[in-house]
Chains A and B, each alone.
Chain A
Amino acid sequence: MEWLDTWGLSLAVFLPMVGVVVLLFVPGSMDGVAKAVGLLFTGAALLVGVAVGLRFDYGSAGAIQLEVNERWIPQIDARYHVGIDGIALPLFELSLLVSFLCIVYLLWHVPSPGKTKALIALTLLLETGMTGTFIALDLILFFIFWEVVLVPMYFMIGIWGGPRREYAAVKFFLYTLFGSIFMLLGFLALYFQGNTFDMIALREQGNLGSTLVQNLTFAGLFLGFAIKVPMWPFHTWLPDAHTEAPTIGSVLLAAVMLKMGTYGFIRIAYPILPDAAVYFAPVIGILAVIAIIYGALCCFAQSDLKRLIAFSSVGHMGFVMLGIATVSDRGINGAIFGMVAHGLITGMLFFLAGSIHERFHTREISSLGGVLQQMPRFGSVLVYAGIASLGLPGLAGFWGEMLALLGSYQPGAGLDEGLFRILMVGGGIGTVLTAGYLLWTIQRVAMGAVPEKFADGRGLFDVHPLEWTAWAPLLALILAAGIYPRMVLGVTDGAVQNLLKSFGG
């Protein structure tokens, strides 16, 4: 299996694309065949991904491995350079897993207006874009994969979305397009300072222009990535997009796509422009804490369950950004852990919100209640995911937040300790608020009396076997990562240490 060490990553990325081509030849009326094709190709990609994960040398997780560096577009010095290290590996595997589970979920339920084949094709296209983003080591390649995600998600929201889908789709598209133009300008600025699009080479060169140029470049990258994360105050597309998107769209958005933004910070902006990163760290930290508290407060005000989960994402991504802002060993490890945990937990919560909508035909929290009584297993899963999300020790949500807070107690060299300790307190208040709204939501949805409207229990079946299949891996991983955090931290730490070398650490 030698070839896995070189082309394995690319194979996992492009298998779904092959699936799209195969789907073109499936008649639109044959839903079953389309589902099978989707399952086959996401499954195969996941298997290749696991195999690649086994070939990965965990002893030197800090180094780029399984590298391919081939001629691609010599006219503009863009190369097909891909590879993976301990930072990218967990996110890469997460994307493959979540895409597969989304297809499994589609086996159970295809949202209105049907068109199964098209929905599966878009999911596969999204998978290629997302996984590709996490392995690209060339800025142009990264940009292309990043942009590939845009169009399928636009259609997914616009066709299969909720009542305000058009508005949400266009808002999502324009926000992201706006951000990516600034990101592209940042990439070009890097190119003209360092004369290469290669991330690794750019990092090794260091010293890309004057302080002003570096700061401006960082600002461009910051806008592009921050809109994707999204950081407060660039977050306003997120509640609309998440709420209106179909279930699998929300899951993919929350579980993977938001991480493309934070990953961009860690993979590109930080190692290549360390000085600018330190310069901007206080701003990022303050925005992150605003996001944490603002997200939590907004959650208290939401009446729609899905919108509430969407706003909780703003808060959770705030913790991730706080961790990144600290430029410390703990903070960044915590940030990556937080990304994985948020992917698992919030992905799970969006699955649940979708399934609740299928059963009750409403997501209004005030008209729900007593889920635990009517559907004990479904209710338990809901409580479990909710508690994981609030950061209970022993489940995945805990470590990311704790490490981010620990990191801000002792931020990296060159950062204002006083400020970051204040930010830590702010983040701490955020955890309390988060616990508050999640418990309150669980109380209103899962506990209490069954509303009269649903008393006859018609259509309220407990967890469907296909739902179990789609959810079990997430539920198990939430527990596993909570009990044994080294599962993630052991992989990321080497790469984070390597990253911090740029900061003289």
Chain B
Amino acid sequence: MELAQGALTSPVDWHAIAPELVLTAFACLVLVVDLFLAERSKWLAMPLSAIGILATGAATLSLVGSDRTTLSGSYEIDAFALLLKGLFCVIGFIVLAISFDYFRSGVRYQGEYYFLLLCSLLGGLVMSSARDLVTIFIAIELISVPGFIMTGLRKGDPKSNEASLKFFLFGVLSTAVMLYGMSLIYGVSGGATRLDQIREAIDGSGNEPLVMLSVFFVVVGFGFKISAVPFHFWAPDTYEGAPSPVAAFLSTASKIGGFVGLLVLMFKAFPEVADIWRPVFAVLATLTMTVGNLIALRQRHIIRLLAYSGIAQSGYILVALALIDPSSPGVSRQALESALVYIAIYGVMDLGAFAAAVAYARRGGSYFIDDYAGLWQRSPVLATLLTGFLLSLAGAPPMAGAWAKLFVFLAAINAQVYWLAVVMGVNAVIAAWYYLAVVKRMFFEAPELEGPVEVPYLLRAVMGVAALALLVVFIYPPVITELAERSVL
């Protein structure tokens, strides 16, 4: 309790938490403004949210170069936190663009939706800086809870209700497990919540079995959040039932939030017991990649395909976690760098694919992959962009995804964990098959649906910029690798 009091009474570095404050203010503003808007101008909540995210991004940029802590050391603003906050802002912006057309024409509750979206995003921002068990817990809940509601926003559709309930039950279960693990840590470390204190306390505490158990619970809890196999069952159903922009958000921001929490915990609190959890991650990574890819092969619904592909992509990031070895800093460093590069590139390419899928489904197409036949003849722009994102997810040139995979692969080889590198390589080939199957449909087959596909200009611009960014990173990867290098924990 002393700690908590200390945190409350110590002076707050307001500039350090400026991004979070700005985002909170805008989230509340959106909710209030929405009350006064007429039904036909409810869409104004979206530009307002966009301004909010831009302002948050600006506040984040104003902190670049600083390395400070506040709230008694439980909140850290370093390059790692700033990189991820920037990434969350980018993701938030793209999700807004995807949401605009979707929510304006069809689903109601625009103001509530954008409010919830900003809240969930706020959770991501908090997670990037959280260096304290309580803060991490609050962050993960802040990310998840708005997600439960957003998933159920299509109230009339039983699928959406089911998705929401499923997500909620799994989410609460995982939270309970995680919280149980955290309480064990609290006990083992003698009442510490700050990660650096925990690290000191459990080092040589002689409580290995208990530490092991608590780490295990925490990993399982996060395993749900990042939809790692075997904790992935909720993801495909939830993504399919949720409004698609929400699915896009869950598969990127929400998942990345989970990964950030995992990375911070493993690097800051549990590096001394890495020998215990490294094999766990190796097994998780193998299962997640392989199961995700194999089930993806049989999907016929594009959102379900992206859900399983997203599960497999989590597996590649887990590979990096399975390489961490505090006794050889070089290896750990490279593993973390490759994870950060992967996370950043994944966020953009996955959202791009979701954006294209949503655009097609809303404008003259459907979610079924069979209906993608001949899309190229109906909308060359959309087909080309989606191909770019799918190639990137597959790890094929000329898109940035190729580097994401190669960096993790190289890190695995450098850590001399060859078998994991081989598993990854085999999985990359399996995955190429189902991504290419969609591409093949779009380009090589005659269209079955008729009529033009009018992609909204905003979405077109956002997808174009995302694709261009992936292309630029492919040609000159230091754009992202330099950032990742400077941002290791």
Does A31 make an interface contact (CB < 8 A)?
A: no
> CB-CB < 8 A to A56: which residues of B?
none
Whose C-beta in chain B lies nearest to the C-beta of A74?
B478
> Is B25 an interface position by the 8 A CB rule?
no
- Other-chain contact of B429, A144, A178, A192 (Cβ < 8 Å): A178
Given A155-B443, A166-B444, check contact A28 B380 (CB 8 Å). yes
Given known A75-B337, A173-B436, A188-B413, contact A148–B380 (CB-CB < 8 A): no
Given known A-B contacts A75-B481, A148-B398, A151-B398, A192 and B444 have beta carbons under 8 A apart: no
Q: Does B407 have its Cβ within 8 Å of any Cβ on chain A?
A: yes
Residue-wise, chain B 411-453 has the 8 Å CB interface mask toward A (1 for contact) of 0010000000000010001001000100010011000000000
Contact A177 B429 (CB under 8 A): yes
Enumerate chain A residues within 8 angstroms of B406, measured Cβ to Cβ: 76
Minimal Cβ-Cβ distance residue in B for A113: B377
B477 touches A188 (CB 8 A): no
Contact, CB under 8 Å: B444 / A73: no
- In the assembled complex, A181 has its CB within 8 A of some CB on chain B: yes
Inter-chain contact B410/A76, CB cutoff 8 Å:
yes
Residue count of chain A within 8 Å CB distance of chain B: 28
Residue of B410, B425, B440 near A170 (CB, 8 A) is B440
For B407, B410, B425, B432, the residue with the greatest tally of chain A CB atoms inside 10 Å of its CB is B410
Q: Which 7 pairs of residues, A with B, have the shortest CB-CB distance?
A: A147-B397, A75-B481, A158-B444, A148-B397, A73-B477, A166-B444, A148-B398
List chain A residues, Cβ under 8 A from B410: 76, 188
A74-B481, A151-B396 known; 15 new pairs, CB 8 Å cut-off, are A72-B477, A72-B478, A73-B477, A73-B481, A75-B334, A75-B407, A75-B484, A76-B406, A76-B407, A151-B391, A155-B443, A158-B444, A165-B444, A169-B444, A173-B436
Report the count of interface residues on B (CB-CB < 8 A). Answer: 26
Name the one of B334, B396, B407, B478 contacting A150, with C-beta atoms under 8 angstroms: B396
Query: How many angstroms between the C-alpha atoms of A389 and B304 in the bound complex?
Result: 53
Partner of A75, one of B376, B443, B485: B485
For chain B, residues 445 to 489, give those with C-beta under 8 angstroms from any C-beta of chain A.
476-478, 481, 484-485
B396 and A170 contact, CB distance less than 8 A: no
In the assembled complex, the Cα of A115 lies from the Cα of B376 at a distance in Å of 10
- A296–B121 Cα gap in the complex (Å)? 66
Are A166 and B440 in contact, CB atoms less than 8 angstroms apart? Answer: yes
Q: Which residues of chain B come closer than 8 Å to A169, judged between CB atoms?
A: 440, 444
* A177 and B402 alpha carbons, distance in the complex (Å): 13
Q: Is A202 an interface residue (CB 8 A)?
A: no
Interface residues of B in 357-409 (CB under 8 A from A): 376, 380, 391, 396-398, 402, 406-407
| Chain A, range 158-181, C-beta contacts under 8 Å to B | 158-159, 165-166, 169-170, 173, 177-178, 181
Chain B residue numbers with a CB within 8 Å of A148 are 397-398
For the residues of B in contact with A, the DSSP-based class is: helix
Q: CA separation between A169 and B334, bound complex, in Å?
A: 37
- The answer for the CA separation of A158 and B402 in the assembled complex, in Å, is 22
Nearest-Cβ distance from residue A316 to partner chain B, whole angstroms: 29
* A144 in contact with B397 (CB, 8 Å): yes
16 chain-A/chain-B pairs, Cβ below 8 angstroms: A75-B478, A75-B481, A144-B397, A147-B397, A150-B397, A151-B391, A158-B444, A159-B376, A159-B443, A166-B444, A169-B444, A170-B436, A170-B440, A173-B436, A178-B429, A181-B429
A118–B380 CB distance below 8 A? yes
Q: Judge whether B337 and A158 touch: CB under 8 Å.
A: no
Query: What residue of chain B has the Cβ atom nearest to residue A140's Cβ?
Result: B406
Measured between beta carbons, the chain A residues less than 8 angstroms from B477 are 72-73
Complex interface: chain B residues within 8 A of A72 (CB)? 476-478
- Decide: A181 near B337, CB < 8 A? Known: A28-B380, A73-B478, A75-B481: no
Residues of chain B within 8 A (CB-CB) of A188 are 410, 413
Bound-state CA distance A73–B440 (Å) is: 33
CA distance A115 to B383 in the complex (A): 14
Closest B residue, CB atoms, query A73: B477
Please measure, in the bound complex, the distance between the C-alpha atom of A73 and the C-alpha atom of B479, giving whole angstroms: 9
How distant is the Cα of A155 from the Cα of B476 in the complex, in angstroms? 25
Cβ of A118 to closest chain B Cβ, rounded Å:
7
B440 near A158 with CB under 8 A, answer yes
Bound-state Cα–Cα, A396 to B398, Å: 36
Smallest CB-CB separation from A144: which chain B residue?
Answer: B397
CB distance from A152 to the nearest CB of B (A): 9
Complex: A148 Cα to B399 Cα, angstroms: 10
CB closest residue in chain A, given B445? A166
Please name all residues of chain B whose beta carbon is closer than 8 Å to the beta carbon of A125 when the two chains form the complex: 398
